[in-house]
Structure 1
Amino acid sequence: MSQPARVLISRLTLTNFRNYASASLVTDARLVALTGDNGAGKTNLMEAVSLLTPGRGLRRAAFADIVRKSPPHLQGPDQETPAPDGWSVSALLDGDNGETRIGTGFSLDTASRRVRIDGAEARSADSLSEYLRVLWLVPSMDGLFTGSAGDRRRFLDRLVLAVDPGHGRRVADFDKAMRSRNRLLETGGEAAWLDAVEAQIASLGVAMAYARREAVTLLSSLITEHAGDDAFPEAALSLEGPFEALSASIPAADLEDAYGELLARGRPRDRAAGRTLEGPHRTDLAVTHVAKAMPAGLASTGEQKALLIGLVLAHAELTARVSGLTPILLLDEVAAHLDPSRRAALFSRLDMLGGQVFMTGTDRALFEALPENAARFAVSDGSVSSLD
C-alpha cells in the first residue's frame, strides 16, 4: 500500500473571526500546542481550521454568529470603525503534493459562504475535501457514549464523511426528502407525490446505510490491528436499529424496494406521529469496551475518554489510508484529563500517525512530553505568538 501524501498547514490566517480581528499562525511543525487561559481563543483557532472542510465546523455554528463583534465603544451609528461584514479563514497547505492556498469566508450582506482554491472561486465547499481532511475531538464529545443516539449518528456520519466525501451530500439530500415526505403526510399530499419522494428516500437511505456499514467495517478492522494497546483500549463497533435489522435480513439488491414498501405501508402511522419512524435516520452507533465486555456507556469516565481517543486515532489512520492524504487532527483540551503515562502514549501515537495535529490546553506543562520538533504557541485575547 502506498504511503499517504503528507499535508500540513504552514500558514493559517483569520480575519474578523470570533475574537480575532486579524491573526496569523506560521509553522512547519507536525505537532502544534496552543496554550492560554480559558476564553483566550484557542478553540476559535481550532474552529477556523475545521471550517476549511465542508460543513459547519466543530461547533456547528451558524456562519453569521462567527463574525467578530465590534468593541462596545465603537458600536453605534457614529462608530469610527465599521462593523465587520463577514469573516474569512485561509491556509497555505504544504506537503508532498506541493503548495496549495485554500480559503473560505462568509458575507453578512449576501448571507453566503464562499470558497477559493489557489485564488479561484470553487463551485462548493465540497471541493475542499480534495486538498484537506480535518478530524477533531472536543470536550463536548466526552458524553458521546452516554448521550443521545442523534449525537452518535452525527459522529458516525463525520467518520464516514472523512473517508467518503459524497456522504455529506447524501445525508443532506436524505434529510430534505424526509422533510418533504413529512409535509406531504401532514397536508394530505397525493399518493403519486408520496410515491416519488419515498423512492428518493429509499435510494438515498440505502446508500447512506451501506456507506456507514463500510466505514464501520474498515474502522473495526483497523482498531483490531492496535488491539492490546493498554493506553487506549479496544472498542468494538456495530450499527443498531430497525433499519439495520431489515437490511441484514434482505439481499442488498432488494433492500431499496423493501424500504420503499415499508415507507408506503407506514404512511398512516407516520401521519399520526408527525414524523417518519422507519429508516437509517434512526440508526445508532453501539460501542463496546472489548476487554471488559461492556457497553462503553457503562465504563468509567476515564475509560470512556480513552476509548474515544483510541477511536479518533484509528479514524485518523483510516482516513489517511483511504483518502491518500494525512488528515489534520484537532484535539481540544485532550491532555488535561489524562495521567502522565497515557499523555505520553498519546503524543507517541500522534507522532507515529505522520499527520499534523493541533492541541490546546491551559497549562504549558501538559505538553512537556512532546518531541523537540513540536511547535508551541501562546494564545491571548485576539493574538497568537510563538513560544519557541
Structure 2
Amino acid sequence: MAEVAAIRHIRLTDFRSYASLNLELRGQPVVLSGPNGSGKTNLLEALSMLSAGRGMRRARLGEIARQNGRGGWTVTALLSGALDESQLGVGVEAGSPEKRVVRIDGASAPGPATLLEYLSFQWLTPAQDRLFMEGAAERRRFLDRMVLSHDPTHGKSAATYEKAMRQRTKLLEDLPRADQTLLGILERQMAEAGVAMAAARREMTSRLAAGADQLNNAAFPAADLALEGALEEALSVESAGDVEEAYEKRLKDGRWRDAAAGRALEGPHRSDLFVMHREKQQAARLCSTGEQKALLIGLVLANATAIAANDSRVPLILLLDEVAAHLDAHRRAALFDILHETGMQAFMTGTDADLFEAWGNRAEHLDVRDSTISGSL
C-alpha cells in the first residue's frame, strides 16, 4: 500500500475555545483525551471545516468565532505525503462573518469544493448514534459525505440541484404568470444534477457492500443497504438519459402540485438510505443501541477499507468523536486494528485515555485541558 498523506501540523486562531493553537503531529492516528468541555471536539470540528459543507456541527460560520475574540477565525493544516505537501487554510474575516475564505499554499482558492482535490473527511459524532432512528435528511448527509470521498463532483451536483430547486420553488409562487422558459431551464438542471446525485449514491452503496466483504470482521456486523427514492429505483432498470427525461417531465407536469406544497415533492432531496443488519436480517432501526453503533462504525470502516484497497489519490481523514465510549474491549481493539491496517489518519476523542490503551505506540496520544494540548500523561 502506498504511503497515505496525513495532517502533520494544525494551526487555529480564535476558533471556538481556542485563542490560538500551533500543533505539530507525527502523521499517525491521533488520540485526544481529556475532560468534557476541554476542547477535544472543537479541534475535530476545526478540521472538518477543511472540507466542503458546514462541518461536523453544521454551524453557521459566524457562530464559530471565539467569544470575546476579534470576530474572525482561521484553521490551517499542513497535509504531507511521500512526494509533496500542501498547506490548506479556511477562515472568515471579522467584517464578513458568513463568507468562508479558502487558501491553498497561501493563494486564494475559488471555494471550499477545491479542498476536495486534496483530502476528504468522514466523521462520527455522538449525535449520529441515532442515525437509523432519525429522519432521512441525516442519513442522506451521512451517505453523501462518503460519496465525496470517492467523487468530489458529487458536491457540485448537489449544489446545482439545490440552487435550481430553490429558484424553481420561488418562481412557482407566481403561477401561472411565472416565466415558463426559465422554469424549463431550472427543471432541466434539476433533472441532470438530480440523476447524477442518485447515480453516485447507488455506486456508493455498491462500494460499501464490497468494502464490507473485504472487511469481514465479526466485531462490526456487515450491513445490507438499499436506496429508497424514485430516481435511484429507476436507475436500476433504465438508462440515466431516460431517467433524466422522465424526471424532467414529472417536474413540469407537477408544477401546480409543487406550488401548492411550497416545495418539490419528488427528487434526490427526499431519498432515504435503508440499512439492514445482514446476519440478523433485521432493520437497523430495530436493532439494539449497541448493534446500531457497531453497524454505524462498520459502514465507516467499510468505506475506509474500499478506499484503501483502491489506493485513492485523495486521502480520507477520519474524525471519530467519543467513538470508543460504548464499545467493549474486544470491539475497541478490533476498531484500532482495522484503522491501523487501512493506514489512514484518524483523530479520536474520549474522556478516558485508558479506552485507547490498545493503540499502544501505533497512535499519538495527546492530553487536552482547557484548550491546551500536550503529550498524554
Structure-2-length-normalised TM-score: 0.95
Q: Is the 2:223–2:276 Cα contact (8 Å) retained in structure 1?
A: yes
Following the alignment from structure 1 to structure 2, what is the Cα–Cα distance between the partners of residues 249 and 20?
52
How many Å apart are 1:307 and its aligned residue?
0.6
Structure 1 distance, partners of 2:232, 2:104, is 39
Q: Secondary structure at the match of 1:323?
A: coil
Alpha-carbon distance change, 126 to 4 in structure 1, aligned in 2, over 3 angstroms: farther
Alpha-carbon distance, 1:184 to partner: 1.4
- SS of 1:52's equivalent in the other structure is coil
- SS of equivalent to 1:115: strand
Distance in 1 (CA, whole Å) between partners of 2:291 and 2:262 is: 39
CA deviations over 1:227-263 (Å, ceiling 9, x no partner): 3x21000111111123333333433331111111111
Gaps of 5+ in 1: 71-82
Partner of 2:249: 261
CA displacement at 1:24 relative to structure 2: 2.0
CA distance in 1, matches of 2:212, 2:93: 42
Cα distance, 1:4 vs. partner?
4.7
User: Partners of 2:27 and 2:232 in 1: how far apart?
Assistant: 43
Query: What is the aligned-residue identity percentage?
Result: 50
Distance (Å, rounded) in 2 between the aligned partners of 1:4 and 1:283: 36
Do the aligned partners of residues 84 and 304 (structure 1) sit closer, same or farther apart at CA in structure 2, a change above 3 Å counting?
same
Matched ranges for 1:123-272 at <5 A: 123-188=110-175, 189-227=178-216, 229-272=217-260
**Post-superposition offset of 1:42:** 0.3
**Bigger shift: residues 31-40 or 130-139:** 130-139
The equivalent of 2:67 in structure 1 is: 69
Task: Return the offset for 1:7.
Answer: 1.0
Aligned residues: CA RMSD: 1.6
Counterparts of 2:113 and 2:257, CA distance in 1: 37
2:118–2:315 Cα contact (<8 Å) kept:
no
TM-score by length of 1: 0.92
- Alpha carbons 2:160, 2:189 under 8 Å: kept: no
* Structure 1 residue 20: Cα displacement: 0.5
**Aligned AA (1:248):** S
Secondary structure of 1:253's counterpart equals: helix
1:211 CA displacement: 1.2
Counterpart position of 2:45? 47
Matched, 1:325 2:311: no
* CA deviation map 1:20-57 (0-9, x unaligned): 00112212141211011111110000011111122211
Question: What residue ranges of structure 2 are gaps of 5+ in the alignment?
Answer: none
Q: Look up the equivalent residue of 2:199 and give its one-letter code.
A: Y
Which residue in the other structure is 1:306 paired with?
A: 294
Q: Does 1:385 align with 2:374?
A: yes
Residue in structure 1 matched with residue 273 of structure 2 by the alignment: 285
1:319–1:106 CA distance, 2 compared to 1 (3 A): farther
